[in-house]
């Protein structure tokens, strides 16, 4: 914004709001939420900009237009960089990290399944060896009820399918929201991170 001691705190605050709302509109547009983006561009921003300009001294009003143009360019560039960065992160997650995690989860479930099968085989063998225990005895009833309360892990393939059922891109997007990436880029004061991309 205009670097001047003549600018009031209220004008600074209004400028910050203009930047935030324009950035939000750019992000919404990049996320194909055009109706929401247009609402900000055509509904909110004109009112905010007019009220901001009214708060400026007359001598700074021409500079204000240049500041707006510069801000529009900068914010669009930040959002574009953020989008490219998000795509790189998402592709890395989808192609490399999520498949590894899924394999680790599958391996863990296979290990649990094998352990459960071994325990069941051991329990059945113990029951067979104790043929003298009547089915109505408290000990036998206790064994049956403890087996009934245990979580059954019979269908490992279905468990793995359920874990993998989640769309990897949705997971990646939820982990890397574009507005957070753009905010981080802005706070880092980065002008061109991905200019070579």
Rg (CA), the chain: 30
Q: Where does 3-137 have alpha helices with state H?
A: 9-30, 34-38, 45-55, 61-92, 98-129
Q: From 92, 189, 110, select the one nearest 157 (Cα to Cα).
A: 110
State yes or no: pLDDT of 197 exceeds 50.
no
What's the pLDDT tens digit per position in 73-95? 999 999 999 999 988 888 888 88
DSSP label at residue 167: -
> What pLDDT shows up at residue 187?
73
Q: What's this model's pTM, rounded to 2 decimal places?
A: 0.57
From first CA to last CA, the distance across the chain in angstroms is 29
CA 114 vs CA 102, 111, 156: distances in Å: 18, 5, 10
The more confidently predicted of residues 103 and 46 is: 46
State yes or no: pLDDT of 140 exceeds 50.
no
Give the integer Cα–Cα distance in Å for 52 and 18: 9
Average pLDDT for the chain: 76
Cβ 90 vs Cβ 173: under 8 Å: yes
What's the pLDDT tens digit per position in 24-63? 999 999 999 999 999 999 999 999 999 999 998 888 888 8
> What pLDDT shows up at residue 118?
86
């Amino acid at each position: 914004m205009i670097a001047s001691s003549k600018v009031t705190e209220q004008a600074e605050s209004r400028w910050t709001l203009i930047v935030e709302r324009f950035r939000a509109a750019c992000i919404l547009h990049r996320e194909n939420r055009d109706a929401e983006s247009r609402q900000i561009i055509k509904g909110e921003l004109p009112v905010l900009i007019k009220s901001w300009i009214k708060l400026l001294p007359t001598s700074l009003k021409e500079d204000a237009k240049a500041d707006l143009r510069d801000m529009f360019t900068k914010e669009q560039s930040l959002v574009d960089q953020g989008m490219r960065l998000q795509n790189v992160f998402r592709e890395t997650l989808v192609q490399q990290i999520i498949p590894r995690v899924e394999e680790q989860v599958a391996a863990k479930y296979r290990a649990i399944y094998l352990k459960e099968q071994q325990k069941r085989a051991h329990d059945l063998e113990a029951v067979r060896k104790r043929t003298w225990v009547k089915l109505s005895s408290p000990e036998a009833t206790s064994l049956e009820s403890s087996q009934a309360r245990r979580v059954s892990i019979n269908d490992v393939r279905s468990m793995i399918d359920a874990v993998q059922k989640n769309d990897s891109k949705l997971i990646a997007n939820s982990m890397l929201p574009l507005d957070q990436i753009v905010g981080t880029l802005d706070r880092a004061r980065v002008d061109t991170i991905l200019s070579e991309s």
